[in-house]
């Protein structure tokens, strides 16, 4: 990963999603649609399911072959699970997208909240 790890602490609000996506692109010094989509989906899930204004930490790291995206919030209550939305629903496909993009993804719960993470091919 070019330039080392990227970390940001912020409030999860809808306006932060595109700003963070652009910040990650600038940090990577290249466009990486899969990483940007993972950042958008994971942060968007916090906004929708934990609530706007929730404090979160984003971390993007890589080892040259894999990029890991982690979003940590302070609640362990809203644990993500893939859904099967009807064709008419306009949301509910984020984790399905993540599953299609990622080599693997998961959730780590702890005393201070939870981290939802995914690993993508490419560093």
- Structural domains of the chain in order of their starting residue, each with its CATH number: 6-121 (3.30.565.10)
Nearest Cα neighbor of 72 from 14, 5, 8 is 8
Q: What is the pTM of this model?
A: 0.86
The angle formed by the CA atoms of residues 67, 73 and 75, to the nearest 5 degrees, is 140
pLDDT confidence of residue 11: 94
Tell me the pLDDT tens digit for each residue of 53-93.
999 999 999 988 999 999 999 887 766 666 665 677 666 56
3 has a pLDDT exceeding 70: no
Place of tokens 């999860």: 12
């Amino acid at each position: 990963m070019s330039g080392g790890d990227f970390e940001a602490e912020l409030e999860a609000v809808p306006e932060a999603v595109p700003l963070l996506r652009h910040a990650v692109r600038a940090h990577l010094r290249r466009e990486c649609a899969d990483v940007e989509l993972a950042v958008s989906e994971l942060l968007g899930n916090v906004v929708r399911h934990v609530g706007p204004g929730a404090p979160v930490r984003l971390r993007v790291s890589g080892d040259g072959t894999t990029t890991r995206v982690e979003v940590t919030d302070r609640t362990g209550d809203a644990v993500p699970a893939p859904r099967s939305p009807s064709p008419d629903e306009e949301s509910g496909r984020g984790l399905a997208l993540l599953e299609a993009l990622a080599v693997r993804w998961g959730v780590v719960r702890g005393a201070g909240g939870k981290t939802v993470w995914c690993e993508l091919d490419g560093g």
